[in-house]
Amino acid sequence: MLRLFFPSARATNWLLIVGFLATGYALYLRYFAIEQPSVALACEAGLRTWLCTTRGIATWLFRHDVFGSVALGVALLNLIRPSLVLVAIALAVGGFGIVLYNVDLSALAAALLLLSLARPAPERA
């Protein structure tokens, strides 16, 4: 019998936590830091806080499609060689990408993550 790559119940719980935390923080950044006019004006006026720094980094990353590209690359690696660590990374970065305007590549990465569940599990040494 060919054993498919399927996370255990404990691993699924950890993947849910990673996915919800990443998507929740991305939603926080989008709606309370990036799209909030008062925060945007304060940060562009030169305010130096952790929120403005995080806003600047996130803005630079989604303008250069980093979230989508990284999610797609990690999902492709996971499709070739399934691993829980790769699933967690692709899930987190893909969640950021979907919320922070890199929907095209991040959605493709999510589809590849689903497709990777049909791959055979790696052989144990």
In this predicted structure, what is the pLDDT of residue 118?
82
Q: Are 50 and 65 in contact (CB under 8 A)?
A: no
Residue 63 in domain? yes
| Cα–Cα distance, 46 to 113 (Å, whole number) | 40
Residue 10 in domain? no
Q: Are 102 and 62 in contact (CB under 8 A)?
A: yes
Residue 2 in domain? no
pLDDT tens by residue, 42-57: 999 999 999 999 999 9
Rounded to two decimals, the pTM is 0.87
Range of the domain at 94: 15-116
Residue 51 in domain? yes
pLDDT tens by residue, 18-36: 999 999 999 999 999 999 9
| Cα–Cα distance, 66 to 3 (Å, whole number) | 34
DSSP 8-state class, residue 34: I
In this predicted structure, what is the pLDDT of residue 2?
66
**Collapsed DSSP state (helix, strand, coil) of residue 52:** helix
Residue 7 in domain? no
Residue 42 in domain? yes
Domain count, the chain: 1
Residue 102 in domain? yes
| Cα–Cα distance, 110 to 64 (Å, whole number) | 19
DSSP 8-state class, residue 7: -
Q: How confident is the model at residue 7 (pLDDT cuts 50, 70, 90)?
A: confident
Residue 125 in domain? no
